Structure 1
Amino acid sequence: MRILDAEFVQGFIRMANDGWEQGWHERNGGNLTYRIKKEEVESVAENLNRNGEWKAIGTSVPKLAGEYFLVTGSGKYFRNIIVKPEDSLAVIELDDRGESYRICWGLVNGDRPTSELPSHLMNHEVKMIASSRKHRVIYHAHTTNVIALTFVLPLEDKVFTRELWEMATECPVVFPDGVGVVPWIVPGGRDIAVATSELMKKYDVAIWAHHGMFCSGEDFDITFGLMHTVEKSAEILVKTLSMRPDKLQTITPQNLRDLAKDFKVMLPEEFLYDK
């Protein structure tokens, strides 16, 4: 099968374009990676080049040794993925130690995978273990309203989780574990990768202060839907705060407990505090 005809590639391209249309990917902002299933690799195997040069990842992810990923390229614009996928994307293979990668397809103009590759792969490893191999998608985008909130709310998990849960009834159901918050760190390096991977042991969402959001999920729909829900909740909160700083009414801790009971989700009590 041609790589561009594969369903997982088409799903990847659609998700990337959906993010562009939301306004989350100015210029070359954001990145997306997908851990490819074994049967999907086999379906396109004849079109993979396994003779490429091995290059250091910049971190070690031994649990991902031998895995294949579909990734966005460094400096690539999300708006171009749908029209120039072979220039914008790559299939990479990790070596048998999880320390190096090689490009097996794509990035036809000689570019390299996303500069956030260490963050993505470290978090793929964490989420693969935590989810018993179910999670396959890691998505980073510059979500406008979430970024705005990082300038006015305390950079604390419990504050962001509680405020976002209160803004829309579906939120505690969509992300019942809450969200984590990473203080501002220079992007693209090991420090932000380590800080994020620690939070992702507990959460599926990490907010990067003054930068954006980082989400993990089982497939493209779940992961995009997770980010979309968090960002919409943030938009409601931004609008609420712009109208008046104190709410006249809200969803209370007991309301949230009742919601959790009916929807059969567990909400950590640490986020159900009295303000």
Structure 2
Amino acid sequence: MQAILSSWFVQGMIKATSDMWLKGWDERNGGNVSLRLTAEDVTPYESDFYPQPRHEALSQPMPALADCWFIVTGSGKFFRNVQLDPADSLVVLQVDSDGKGYRIFWGLTNGGLPTSELASHFQSHIVRMGVTHGRDRVIMHCHATNLIALSYVLELDTAKFTRELWEGSTECLVVFPDGVGIVPWMVPGTDTIGDATSEQMKHHSLVLWPFHGIFGTGPTLDEAFGLIDTAEKSAEVMVKVRSMGGKKQTISTEELIALGKRFGVTPLEAALRV
């Protein structure tokens, strides 16, 4: 067995994708995950690398990611199968020194490419590297059922959508005080939606793709998963509240402010004013 299969990053991707599928967020080949690695992370497993790594061009240059390593889910791969065959479902790649392409060092044993949302992931990685001074290393996208459902009935406004989720569960303001960014509906797998998503990632760790899914980020796979899980749980609560006739009482603005002070976070001001 290849040593890389027992590495923390391959095992982490197996767990994350399995958990996401079990949650019902990633039907068929839906969803994608990328984790930025360091040279120190991958060096112990060089003996498992392809002797002649395949080269692929990027749809646009990414010089800010020059020489960066990533492990990414593959395009068209089913999350439910990652645990069965991680070497076919995942890919370890390194961006070229000029940022114009990348080389595949491990994975995709039956051929194929990294996720079709690679441009969106890379554009968001660049932004989050800057915003968090390199702390955020994960971009996670999934089709979280209740967040998608709410995108059909709530106004697609960052402040209003965020406020609804904050009121859905007390922990939400603490977990994502920066709120949920929203982009218009766009064709997925394009540089255009990647640009729009990364623009929202400058201000928000969660970005909603209406009628499609959610993007989340964080320093670890657990943190990114937990962020989405928290928002999705609140969305589920609010879907049920609406089915029961709507709110009769809720968390007040004053209580949200007090919550932020207690946990030392700064809530999105626009969401407090709704």
Instruction: For residues 176-227 of structure 1, give each alpha carbon's deviation from its aligned partner in whole angstroms, at most 9, with x where no partner exists.
Output: 1111011110000011000000000001000000000000100011110001
- Within 1, Cα distance between the matches of 2:111 and 2:252? 54
Residue in structure 1 matched with residue 171 of structure 2 by the alignment: 170
TM-score (norm 2): 0.97
Which aligned runs of 4 or more in structure 1 are off by greater than 3 angstroms? none
1:259 aligns with 2:274: no
Residue type of the alignment partner of 1:60 = P
User: Which residue pairs with 1:222 in the alignment?
Assistant: 223
Amino acid at match of 2:5: L
* Compared CA separation, residues 165 and 50, structure 1 to 2 (3 A): farther
> Counterpart of 1:231?
232
Amino acid in the other structure paired with 1:122: Q
1:82 match = 83
SS in 1 for 2:223: helix
Q: Which runs of 5+ in 1 are unaligned?
A: none
Please report the TM-score for the alignment, with normalisation by the length of structure 1: 0.97
What pairs with 1:198-217 in structure 2 (closer than 5 Å)? Answer: 198-217=199-218
Q: Cα distance, 1:99 vs. partner? A: 1.8
Quick one: distance in 2 between partners of 1:98 and 1:179?
30
- Helix, strand or coil for the counterpart of 1:12? helix
Give the match for residue 272 of structure 2. Answer: 272
Which residue of structure 2 aligns with residue 249 of structure 1?
Answer: 249
In structure 2, C-alpha distance between the alignment counterparts of 1:228 and 1:98, rounded to whole Å = 33
2: distance between equivalents of 1:253 and 1:66? 46
Indicate the residue corresponding to 1:130 in structure 2.
131
Alignment of 1:10-159 (within 5 A): 10-49=11-50, 51-159=52-160
Query: Using the alignment, how far apart are the partners of 2:14 and 2:38 within structure 1?
Result: 17
Secondary structure of the equivalent of 2:18?
Answer: helix
Q: Percent identity?
A: 49
**Structure 2: any 5+ residue segments left out of the alignment?**
none
Aligned partners of 1:99, 1:24: CA distance in 2, in Å? 32
SS of aligned partner of 1:102: strand
Cα RMSD over matched residues?
1.1
CA distance in 2, matches of 1:218, 1:255: 29
Describe how 1:157-196 pairs up with structure 2 within 5 A: 157-196=158-197
Query: Which residue type is aligned with residue 205 of structure 1?
Result: L
1:50 Cα deviation from its structure 2 partner: 5.8
Work out the CA distance in 2 between the residues paired with 1:169 and 1:60: 42
Q: CA deviation at 1:268?
A: 2.5
Q: Which amino acid aligns with 1:65?
A: A
Tell me the number of residue pairs that the alignment of Structure 1 and Structure 2 aligns. 273
